[in-house]
Amino acid sequence: MNSTPEEEQNAAEENRPETENESISRREMLKLTAIAGTGVVLGMSGMATLMSLKRADPGPGSGMSATKPQADSGDVIPFYGPQQAGIVTPQQPYVCFAAFDILHQDAGQLLKLLQEWSAASALMTAGKPLREGGNVTSPPADTGETKGLSPSNLTLTFGFGPTLFQNNGEDRFGLASEQPAELSDIPTMPGDRLNPQWSGGDIGVQACADDPAVAFHAIRNLAKASKGTAVIRWVQNGYIGAPDGQTPRNLFGFKDGTANRELDSDAARSQHVWVSSSYTPAWMANGTYLVARKIRMFLEPWDRATLAEQEITFGRLKESGAPFGKKNEFDPASLSQFPASSHVWLARSAGTKMLRRAYSYVDGIDAGTGEWDAGLFFISFQRSVKQQFIPMLSLLAKLDALNKFTSHVSSAVFACPPGAGEGGFVGETLFRSGNR
Amino acid sequence: MNSTPEEEQNAAEENRPETENESISRREMLKLTAIAGTGVVLGMSGMATLMSLKRADPGPGSGMSATKPQADSGDVIPFYGPQQAGIVTPQQPYVCFAAFDILHQDAGQLLKLLQEWSAASALMTAGKPLREGGNVTSPPADTGETKGLSPSNLTLTFGFGPTLFQNNGEDRFGLASEQPAELSDIPTMPGDRLNPQWSGGDIGVQACADDPAVAFHAIRNLAKASKGTAVIRWVQNGYIGAPDGQTPRNLFGFKDGTANRELDSDAARSQHVWVSSSYTPAWMANGTYLVARKIRMFLEPWDRATLAEQEITFGRLKESGAPFGKKNEFDPASLSQFPASSHVWLARSAGTKMLRRAYSYVDGIDAGTGEWDAGLFFISFQRSVKQQFIPMLSLLAKLDALNKFTSHVSSAVFACPPGAGEGGFVGETLFRSGNR
């Protein structure tokens, strides 16, 4: 009642352990807050702009943290490099994937956002908190919920959607001439039940980590940094349950992604994953295309199917993941050894390879049916959507025995540029391309 | 075309690695499936009932698994015991919580369900798959997606909601006389925005584990086993991000649950968590009450608040979790040393203790507002809802400075019976109580 907001703020500030006269200021502050009650709280945010009580700058990199996250604990995947991380990186068990829409048509603001995002990504993947200022009268730069956690092998992978280049024929940022010819929405397939609200997006960001708290924290802080420039269009969380280094099982209980082993070598990745330096547009060299499909899996009817039906539908033995008549998951088998029309038979029939990086999702119970709203958040990386992903999808959409138990409910495609060099930013090659 | 369903089934069966004449049967089967196409798949489940091709019984406990989950890896928490696990058990990082509604009024069926659930829980917590039959013409007993994963310290904790005893005045199962006087819905508080669809439930099941795949698998398989008797009313997934043994941080970035340390001793737990043997009804002895509240946290306005506002609102220092003017989280501090009307000050003012076991949740983006649909799935255990939980909630609902940034969107209360002895089942004391 008798105190001004400035006095209350001073009291709060002085009362922190950094100050010398701890006991006096604490008592003072408590008296003040007791008098003012919630009024202190309500008045505080407006007041912050009036105040200039800086804390000592803790120096670059140390952020606002006394006991630093264990950035030296070994579970750091470098953000900077010729190619983006999170693509051929061994799959971390958790994903938080967000698609953002840009709110305006200001190419300068977009460029600034990409720069800020890259700088923030470099800090977060190194396990360091974001920082700006560092006094109590500012909102904390970092939301803080992962303080004390290890970097958890966090990767952040960025991609540009078709609408970033042109939306309803409009060249929003002067980037239309740089749009790759094959960067467009995946054609709707028979059986697709795509929800436009969960599909597409101007920019896709895949956050993967060993801890879901770390993956979410990264997306949350990128969203916070984008305020006024971008909004989240959709988000999908997911996980894999896999013993270290083994092929994950999907929610149908089958090992899913066995074929990834064919892409273990650099040579195979150059052939199937990475865009080559002779590609047009040139800014995509060392980049790749990301396809995301949310595939709902109807767990209840699946769980009522016999083991024989499940195995003939999927195309492998459930327990071992082996081809029919074989003992082990990686035992060689020719195409004709898989049941016709099975999922694996068709995927192999398509003859195209891609790097799968799918996650299971459980979004609770479908309020309409009372059944599980769960399935596979399919992510794949390939150097060509048209030559690799679409032929396979078309074949599967037409013939896959698994379709009886699944429904594609979202679709998105993003052109992932190459990685950024130290101090650079992801998307630099696009913004600095010769045509601009 | 020329093959009968029986022949196809035989071919599929013979084609498994267990059989001797592998190459012939495999070729035969592939020919048949190629001819029949998806017809094989469609016809298989109906056919299963006609077939009696049993596989060799792998013996008790070994289930359908060749390479067993690592039940000896040390991360097993026994299901059987005088008190249920998952209460004073050190908090595992993942929860999948389900509330079930019973579909009928048949006490015998309810009893059978509880017996089946306990038997299944004992298997799953030991890392063993469920089993029944074990031939390819039956649906697999276990959904299989956690095969190869460790038991992951899975716990399954069961509780009975008020509606199990009486629903709209109806004594559904002849249990009304056994309803504890204090087992009733928590009164709606000012500010509550409870969604009835996410609240209540006849039976609550808390699955906690070190791996979200293991927690979900447990709830999924309990739901599968309950088919025809119960349906899931609501499900909530959650996680904590905490370095081992440290107090988790909530999504506001603050350490939440510091007071739990006061309940570390058996004496304190007897006083505050476990129902005593002199309690009425007697079947609750060694049980406890579980309260679940889904508390949405408005992350965007919180992240715009200054650090000072955040700290005065929550009542502790953000970085360290220490009381104001102190250095460390567990530094002793009297009530008067916390900011008045802060969350911690009020919670301590209430003077009641309870065991908190809360999880963060991120359910994506609110389609209406474009903001995060995220917060705290609060779970607490206490020996009395009326004497411990409700006084604290009432005070917080009226005065908590944090209310500006939160909204309670669901509420549930469950009476957790004692644990089951080996071969017994959770709920046995209720069903065998003297009054019945």
Residue A131 has a pLDDT of 79
Q: What percent of chain A has pLDDT over 90?
A: 72
Report pLDDT for A216.
Answer: 98
Give the residue-averaged pLDDT of B293-298. 98
What is the average pLDDT across B100-124? 96
Look at residue A122 and tell me whether its pLDDT is greater than 90: yes
Pair B70, A325: CB distance under 8 Å: no
- Nearest CA distance, A124 vs chain B (angstrom): 15
Q: Return the DSSP state at A371.
A: S
pLDDT digits (tens, 9 = 90+) for A201-253: 999 999 999 999 999 999 999 999 999 999 999 999 999 988 878 999 999 99
Distance from CA of B36 to the nearest CA of A (A): 9
More confident: B6 or B93: B93
- Asked which of A20-24, A85-89, B14-18, B251-255 is least confident by mean pLDDT, the reply is A20-24
Q: Which segment of A11-15, A229-233, A306-310, A314-318 scores lowest on mean pLDDT?
A: A11-15
Contact B213, B94 (CB under 8 A): no
Instruction: List helix spans (H) across A193-240.
Output: 212-225
Q: Look at A140 and B318 and tell me if their CB atoms are within 8 Å.
A: yes
Nearest neighbour of B306 by CB, restricted to A29, A65, A139: A139
- pLDDT bin (cut points 50, 70, 90) of residue A341 is confident
**pLDDT at position A29:** 37
Please judge whether B308 and A216 are an interchain contact, meaning their C-beta atoms are less than 8 angstroms apart. Answer: no
What is the secondary structure of B293-348 as a DSSP string? EEEEE-HHHHHHS-HHHHHHHHSS-TTT-PPTT-SSTT----GGGSPTT-HHHHHH
Q: Do A48 and B309 touch (CB under 8 A)?
A: yes
Q: Which range (A249-253, B15-19, B141-145) has the least confidence?
A: B15-19
Chain A: closest CA distance from residue B236 (Å): 7
> Mapping DSSP to helix (H, G, I), strand (E, B) and coil, where does residue B364 land?
strand
Banded model confidence at residue A134, pLDDT cuts 50, 70, 90: low
Amino acid at A10: N
Choice among A10-24, B128-142, B220-234 with the minimum mean pLDDT: A10-24
Q: Would you state the pLDDT for residue B73?
A: 55
Rounded to whole angstroms, the Cα distance separating A5 from A33 reads 11
ipTM above 0.90 for this complex:
no
Q: How far apart are CA A315 and CA A190, in angstroms?
A: 22
- Min Cα separation B422/chain A (Å): 29
The pLDDT confidence band at residue B384, using thresholds 50, 70 and 90, is very high
- CB-closest option in A96, A138, A304 to B307: A138
Decide if pLDDT at A12 tops 90. no
Instruction: Decide: B247 and B258 in contact? Cβ < 8 Å.
Output: yes
Q: Among B190-194, B337-341, B391-395, which is the least confidently predicted range? A: B337-341
- Flag if A16 and B318 touch (Cβ within 8 Å): no
Segment B249-271, tens digit of pLDDT: 999 999 998 989 999 999 999 99
- Which residues from B are below 8 Å from A326, CB to CB? 17
**What is the average pLDDT score of chain B?**
84
Nearest to B325 among A26, A211, A311 (CB): A26
Q: Output the 3-class SS for B237-280.
A: EEECCCCCCCCCECCCCCECCHHHHHHCCHHHHHHHCCCCCCCC
Confidence of residue A25 (pLDDT cuts 50, 70, 90): very low
Which range has the worst mean pLDDT, A247-261, A267-281, B119-133, B317-331? Answer: B119-133
Instruction: Say which residues have a Cβ less than 8 Å from residue B98's Cβ, sequence separation at least 6.
Output: B204, B205, B207, B219, B222, B223, B232, B233, B234, B235
Q: What is the rounded distance in angstroms from the CA atom of residue B18 to the CA atom of residue B55? A: 9
pLDDT at A231: 96
| CA A391 to the chain's CA centroid | 25
Question: B101: how many CB neighbours lie within 10 A of its CB?
Answer: 18
Query: Of B12, B327, B370, which has the smallest distance from its Cβ to A231's Cβ?
Result: B370
Q: Measure A416 CA to nearest chain B CA, in Å.
A: 23
**Number of CB atoms found within 10 A of residue A132's CB:** 12
Mean pLDDT of B376-388: 97
Identify all chain B residues contacting A300, using CB atoms and an 8 Å cutoff: 224
Residue in A closest to B43 by C-alpha: A309
Write the burial class of residue A279 (CB in 10 Å: 0-12 exposed, 13-18 middle, 19+ buried).
middle
Q: At what angle do helices B5-14 and B22-36 cross, to 10 degrees?
A: 140
Q: Is residue A284 very low, low, confident or very high in pLDDT (cuts 50, 70, 90)? A: very high
Determine the pLDDT at residue A234: 97
Q: Test B304 with A232 for CB contact under 8 angstroms.
A: no
Query: Which pLDDT belongs to residue B282?
Result: 96
pLDDT at B40: 30
- Enumerate the domain spans of chain B: 80-131+139-433
What pLDDT sits at residue B132?
A: 54
Q: Tell me which of A52 and B214 has the higher pLDDT.
A: B214
Instruction: Name the pLDDT band for A349 (thresholds 50, 70, 90).
Output: confident
Report the C-alpha gap between A400 and A314 in whole angstroms: 9
Q: CB-based contacts of B167: which residues, under 8 Å, 6+ apart?
A: none
Least confident of A123-127, B130-134, B271-275, B408-412: B130-134
Q: What is the DSSP letter of B142?
A: S
Q: Name the pTM for this structure.
A: 0.85
Which is it for strands A355-356 and A230-239: parallel, antiparallel or unpaired? unpaired
Average pLDDT, chain A: 84
Would you say residue B338 has pLDDT above 70? yes
pLDDT > 70 fraction of chain B, expressed in percent and rounded: 82
As a whole number, mean pLDDT of residues A132-155 equals: 89
DSSP A289-330: EEEEEEEEE-HHHHHHS-HHHHHHHHSS-TTT-PPTT-SSTT
pLDDT band at B105 (very low <50, low <70, confident <90, very high): very high
Instruction: Please list the residues that pair with A101 across neighbouring strands.
Output: A231
pLDDT tens profile A49-103: 222 222 222 333 333 222 333 434 579 999 999 999 999 999 999 999 999 999 9
- Res. A41: pLDDT tops 60: no
Task: Check residue B347 and give its pLDDT.
Answer: 87
Q: What DSSP letter does each residue of B115-126 carry, written as one string? A: HHHHHHHHHHHT
B125: amino acid identity, one letter: T
Shortest Cα distance, chain B CAs vs residue A336, angstroms = 7
Q: Suggest the residue from A307, A324, A331, A371 to mutate for an interface test with chain B (most B CBs closer than 10 A).
A: A307
Whether A406 and A298 have beta carbons less than 8 Å apart is answered as: yes
CA B403 to CA B191: how far, in whole Å? 8
CB-CB contact of A144 with A167 (8 Å): no
φ, ψ of residue A234 to 5 degrees: the values are -155, 160
Cα dihedral A329/A332/A333/A334 (nearest 10): 140
Q: Nearest residue on chain A to B403, judged by CA atoms?
A: A38
Q: Has residue B292 got a pLDDT over 70?
A: yes
**Range with lowest mean pLDDT among A388-397, B21-30, B69-78, B90-99:** B21-30
The most confident of the ranges A66-70, A156-160, A400-404 is: A156-160
Identity of residue B337:
Q
The type of residue at A338 is: F
The partner residue sitting opposite A309, judged by closest CB among B37, B44, B213, is B44
Which residue type does A203 have?
Answer: I
Is A319's CB within 8 Å of B44's CB?
no
pLDDT band at B165 (very low <50, low <70, confident <90, very high): very high
* CA distance between the termini of chain A: 60
Of B138, B308, B342, the CB nearest to A44: B308
Helix (H) / strand (E) containing A205:
strand A203-209
CA distance B254 to A144: 8
As a whole-number percent, the residues of chain A with pLDDT over 70 amount to 82
Q: Which of B44, B148, B336 sits opposite A312 (nearest CB)?
A: B44
Binary contact (B339, A40; C-beta < 8 A): yes
What is the separation, in whole angstroms, between the first and last Cα of chain B? Answer: 60
